[in-house]
Amino acid sequence: MTTTETDTQWQHLTERWQELADFSGIGALLGWDQSTFLPAGAAGDRSRQQSLLAGLRHARATDAEYGKLLDAAARRSDLSPEQTRMVQVARQDFEKATRLPAEFVREFSGHVGQSYSAWTEARPANDFGRMVPYLEKTLDLSLQAASYFPEFADPMDYYIDESDEGMTAEQVGQVFSELREALVPLADAVIAAGAPRTDFLARGFDQGKQLAFGERVIRDYGYDFRRGRQDLTHHPFMTRLGGHDVRITTRVKENDPTEALYSTLHEAGHALYEQGVDEAFLGTPLGGGVSAGVHESQSRLWENLVGRSRAFWSAYFGDWRDTFPEQLADVTEEEMHRAVNTVSRSLIRTDSDELTYNLHVITRFELERDLLSGKLAVRDLADAWHAAYERNLGLRAPSDVDGALQDVHWYFGSIGGAFQGYTLGNVLSAQFYAAAEAANPGLEADIARKDFSRLHGWLRENVYRHGRRFTPTELTERATGQALTAAPYLKYLREKYSQLYGL
Amino acid sequence: MTTTETDTQWQHLTERWQELADFSGIGALLGWDQSTFLPAGAAGDRSRQQSLLAGLRHARATDAEYGKLLDAAARRSDLSPEQTRMVQVARQDFEKATRLPAEFVREFSGHVGQSYSAWTEARPANDFGRMVPYLEKTLDLSLQAASYFPEFADPMDYYIDESDEGMTAEQVGQVFSELREALVPLADAVIAAGAPRTDFLARGFDQGKQLAFGERVIRDYGYDFRRGRQDLTHHPFMTRLGGHDVRITTRVKENDPTEALYSTLHEAGHALYEQGVDEAFLGTPLGGGVSAGVHESQSRLWENLVGRSRAFWSAYFGDWRDTFPEQLADVTEEEMHRAVNTVSRSLIRTDSDELTYNLHVITRFELERDLLSGKLAVRDLADAWHAAYERNLGLRAPSDVDGALQDVHWYFGSIGGAFQGYTLGNVLSAQFYAAAEAANPGLEADIARKDFSRLHGWLRENVYRHGRRFTPTELTERATGQALTAAPYLKYLREKYSQLYGL
């Protein structure tokens, strides 16, 4: 093959990639608008437009000509390491999009619709039994889907790899076991120490002022409003609408200002990651965050390790009290810091705090793993749920409504891999933060004077700019010098909560 | 051909039409977001996304298979009148999209880019001479484009037909001459009568309250916020993002509350038309307003004939003063009504009032017609402009900056048909309103008590619901009993301004 031919081929590939990225951006706009501003009557129009666009994108992402371009590129020996990785990632995406037979995808998706619809009735009726046959079929289909990827010995590995490339059930399971052993007694001790004062949070905080405050903080963090914006939605999220358009959303509660603030900081963390990807990778397969776990590590880092720290409130409490002088007249900086670090036992994952959230996730991960391995039968899931909650959280739901019927994920076709990223993110957040601190001694003092430049700079240099250039494992090892490890996270939690609760 | 085959064909056609409508809706969302919320840094991403989508839509709107489906449908004799019109309109659109050779379209569009770019420098430099060769080429290319449609004897007819199907240069020219003869002396008389009081408009009106007031009025008009919304943009517009999603935008000035109010009423008029199209026509070639002139008639009707009427201010002045009690403490209802009906001579089309706006449009229309017919050479355009302004408006611009270089349209490739819809709209607004009044005696009293149901109902029944079911001429004749006529408009203007200015 001549150089001219190969260059033309490469040109075609990059055009394809830009086109696929633009399709994704348009799709993201359709979704963003649906959540922010779409008039109520237009839901049907929007869903048809989304199907049209998704169909066009899928056709372009899976057509044979594209597959040939990728195969030809994979045979080339003259590509740079970045180009080689682009082709590798694109081929993985292509395989995942093409290997499942269309007929099977249709069957699965039809079943999921029925299962979801049944769940919306079975949950309020506390009727887990009704969901057993649906969930059994979902499990069968999930195992069949995984079987199209025989390179994964364990089906759970296939599902973990979908969102956290290269990680395995065994690796995640070990980290999670270690976490559980440490977190259960730590949560017990914190809760026994008594709850901090939170009465003042319900004193009616002006919504506009709340939003303006959060936006001031994330501007300090380094979020670039020239390439993004914040709006209100029911469920906060971050979305990429283009190479230079990474938007976030939040929600506001008048009688709990921590809701808007921490939603904003969380989504801004995701956005800092996306905004930090190397300009040269935008519009290529490498132009985005690398995995669910690494992504969540950045939202958690900016939300929790920075935003719930003593140094953060030392920096911002003055502004905070200036913004809400009446509501905070009798509140000290320390009380504010303690209030945003309340720990309590809860039956509901989405209501839980930094510490116990992991126990909700680990419980689900272990149940999913046992379902996929055949160790746990679907009909025994509800009882297994209660037993696991008693063991891990010391609580038993009064019914299956807040037990095995709690989350939509399993009933919407997603068994395996749906939850683990959240806790992997927590673990990695501390691992990255510790490495950033080792390279930049005195980071805490930076935060206390609202100077995030060294922290943001280190993260951009070691994590953000790489996009999908490395696997999550490679990225973690390059940035922190070691593989995924729970030690920094446990150290962070123990120190923080010992100090806060005088343990 | 069997019934089954023809039904399958019809099914394919309607699917095509829905798909084309959905492409348009997605494109409208990309444009709406660009004008409302797009972060500054994302302009490049957005323009690439728009090209991608426009290219996909164009390919689907012009492909040979679609042409065959349309030809087959045109040969059928078993279609309903609505279906027959759908096919007719779709074939017209198809012809317009396919008859210009791709090579010619590329040349024209390349030239337009250069011309526009030169105009952005020539206008501030007051250098009409520099634009002469560009404009000469634009004129040549415009004549060539029209020549691909030999069914139009006069090139001007082709351009008028593009936006106002079925109307001709002769017909429009006659109506415009009649208008000019009447409007020039009327404007003279009104201006001689002296300007009303407007000092209070500059007293600082809260922007949020202005917007809320306008939204209350258009809700009264019948604008459906379940199928639309209003946002802020630099230039107000109305856009259809889906069958049930017709949005408007406005702009607010603290020291001129008439800006936001009348922009809102104007765009809401466009939107009432689009929201009123028969549900059965949505997603078909008939699912939208029929022409520039009829569209503008509805924006003008709700903005001017209703919104600047005595009855309107009789209905709303109390609310208006309750909303802005300090600013309006010394202002009467009559003073408010007079202030929104100020007439003055202006060199700038976009700054002009209800009465003189038409003279700006007529001037441009006549110059365009003379350019296309060869009666006027491009090199003489600047002088012809000044002479026409002296004749029609009694003003001479001090230079070409506000003369022949004023509007972007000609320099952006659009000679012929760009302006006439505005004044056709004014003429039709009064013709439709008079017919509505004849069918519903006492409409003015309805307005005075904020009851727009009979007016809106008549317009929906006689104009809106039909979409593109009839040509503009058919629609006008069916609704008003006669062809386009200036009489009702002149009667309206004479009565209104005689009363206001005691002529």
Same domain, A59 and A170: no
Q: Which residues of B touch A225 (CB under 8 A)?
A: 39
- pLDDT at residue A182, as a whole number: 96
Can you list the positions of beta strands (E) in B260-304?
none
Same domain, B209 and B99: no
- Kind and range of the H or E run holding A409: none
Strands A230-232 and A245-250: parallel
Selection from A450, A469, A101 nearest residue A281 by Cα: A469
The answer to whether B399 and B386 have CB atoms below 8 angstroms apart is no
Three-class secondary structure of residue B20 per DSSP: helix
Same domain, B215 and B119: no
The CA distance from B460 to B454, in Å, is 10
Same domain, B144 and B223: no
Measured between CA atoms, the residue of chain B closest to residue A242 is: B45
- pLDDT at residue B350, as a whole number: 86
The CA distance from A271 to A250, in Å, is 13
The CA distance from B177 to B192, in Å, is 23
Give pLDDT < 70 ranges for chain B: 1-5
Same domain, B371 and B339: yes
**Tokens describing residue B13:** 């056609």
The CA distance from B216 to B54, in Å, is 36
- pLDDT at residue B351, as a whole number: 85
CA dihedral A105, A108, A112, A114 (to 10 degrees): 120
Same domain, A385 and A485: yes
Check whether A428 has a pLDDT greater than 60. yes
Measured between CA atoms, the residue of chain B closest to residue A48 is: B22
Specify whether B267 is catalytic: yes
Chain-chain contact of B45 with A241 (C-beta, under 8 angstroms): yes
- Which residue of the set A162, A215, A267, A366 is catalytic? A267
Q: Which residues of B touch A231 (CB under 8 A)?
A: 37
Strands B245-250 and B238-242: antiparallel
Write down the ipTM of this complex: 0.93
Please state, for a pLDDT cut of 90, what percent of chain A lies above it. Answer: 95
- The CATH number of the domain holding residue B22 is 1.20.58
Chain A nearest C-alpha distance from B136 (Å): 37
Q: Which residues of A touch B226 (CB under 8 A)?
A: 39-41
Q: Which amino acid is at B225?
A: F
From A142, A157, A188, the end of a domain falls on A142
A136 a known binding residue?
no
- The CATH number of the domain holding residue A459 is 1.10.1370.30
Using CB atoms, pick whichever of B45, B56, B247 lies closest to residue A25. B45
Please state, for a pLDDT cut of 70, what percent of chain A lies above it. Answer: 99
Q: How many C-beta neighbours within 10 Å does residue A154 have?
A: 16
From B116, B139, B163, the end of a domain falls on B163
- pLDDT at residue B214, as a whole number: 98
Q: Which residues of B touch A54 (CB under 8 A)?
A: none
What are the DSSP calls for A432-473, one per residue?
HHHHHHHHSTTHHHHHHTT--HHHHHHHHHHTGGGTTSS-HH
Out of A47-61, A215-229, B456-470, least confident range: A47-61
**Tokens describing residue B157:** 């007819």
What are the DSSP calls for B122-135, one per residue?
HTTTT-HHHHHHHH
Q: Which residues of A touch B49 (CB under 8 A)?
A: 22, 25-26, 29, 242
pLDDT-derived band at A3 (thresholds 50, 70, 90) equals: low
Measured between CA atoms, the residue of chain B closest to residue A247 is: B39
Same domain, A347 and A398: yes
**Tokens describing residue A136:** 């059994």
A111 a known binding residue?
no
Same domain, B386 and B463: yes
The CA distance from A458 to A453, in Å, is 8
Domain of B136, in residue numbers: 3-163
- pLDDT at residue A446, as a whole number: 98
Chain-chain contact of B241 with A23 (C-beta, under 8 angstroms): no
Using CB atoms, pick whichever of A18, A39, A231 lies closest to residue B245. A39
What pLDDT, in 10s, does the model give residues A293-313? 999 999 999 999 999 999 999
- Which residue of the set B162, B259, B267, B274 is catalytic? B267
Using CB atoms, pick whichever of A42, A49, A228 lies closest to residue B26. A49
Cβ neighbourhood burial of A351 (10 Å; 0-12, 13-18, 19+): exposed
- pLDDT at residue B102, as a whole number: 87
**Tokens describing residue B373:** 């017919």
- Domain count along chain A: 2
- pLDDT at residue A418, as a whole number: 83
- pLDDT at residue A102, as a whole number: 87
Q: How many C-beta neighbours within 10 Å does residue B47 have?
A: 12
Check whether A488 has a pLDDT greater than 90. yes
The CA distance from B334 to B306, in Å, is 16
Chain-chain contact of B244 with A19 (C-beta, under 8 angstroms): no
What pLDDT, in 10s, does the model give residues B393-409? 999 999 999 999 999 99
Chain A nearest C-alpha distance from B447 (Å): 28
The answer to whether A373 and A158 have CB atoms below 8 angstroms apart is no
Residue A74's alpha-carbon distances to A10, A162, B474, in angstroms, are: 11, 21, 63
The CA distance from A359 to A365, in Å, is 10
Selection from B293, B364, B368, B363 nearest residue B142 by Cα: B368
Question: What count of Cα atoms within 13 Å lies in the side-chain half-sphere of residue B266?
Answer: 19
- pLDDT at residue A417, as a whole number: 83
pLDDT-derived band at A459 (thresholds 50, 70, 90) equals: very high
Measured between CA atoms, the residue of chain B closest to residue A51 is: B22
- pLDDT at residue B503, as a whole number: 87
**Tokens describing residue A117:** 């619809």
From A142, A173, A188, the end of a domain falls on A142
Using CB atoms, pick whichever of A22, A41, A247 lies closest to residue B227. A41
Kindly state the DSSP code that residue A185 receives in the 8-state scheme: H
The CA distance from B99 to B489, in Å, is 38
Same domain, B185 and B226: yes
Chain-chain contact of B227 with A42 (C-beta, under 8 angstroms): yes
Same domain, A315 and A436: yes
Chain-chain contact of B19 with A52 (C-beta, under 8 angstroms): yes
**Tokens describing residue A492:** 């962070």
Using CB atoms, pick whichever of A26, A44, A228 lies closest to residue B49. A26
- pLDDT at residue B2, as a whole number: 59
Chain-chain contact of A242 with B42 (C-beta, under 8 angstroms): yes
Chain B nearest C-alpha distance from A56 (Å): 9
Same domain, B233 and B94: no
Question: What count of Cα atoms within 13 Å lies in the side-chain half-sphere of residue B49?
Answer: 33
The CA distance from A421 to A484, in Å, is 13
- pLDDT at residue B86, as a whole number: 98
Measured between CA atoms, the residue of chain B closest to residue A283 is: B45
Can you list the positions of beta strands (E) in A171-233?
230-232
Q: Which residues of B touch A219 (CB under 8 A)?
A: none
Three-class secondary structure of residue B445 per DSSP: helix
Same domain, B47 and B182: no
The CA distance from B60 to A242, in Å, is 25
Question: What count of Cα atoms within 13 Å lies in the side-chain half-sphere of residue B277?
Answer: 28
Check whether A1 has a pLDDT greater than 60. no
- pLDDT at residue A2, as a whole number: 60
Task: Write phi, then psi, for A16 (nearest 5 degrees).
Answer: -55, -45
B303 a known binding residue?
no
- pLDDT at residue B418, as a whole number: 84
Q: Which residues of B touch A46 (CB under 8 A)?
A: 242, 245
Q: How many C-beta neighbours within 10 Å does residue A310 have?
A: 18
- pLDDT at residue B3, as a whole number: 65
What pLDDT, in 10s, does the model give residues B312-326? 999 999 999 999 999
Q: Which residue has the tokens 């679907």?
A: A378
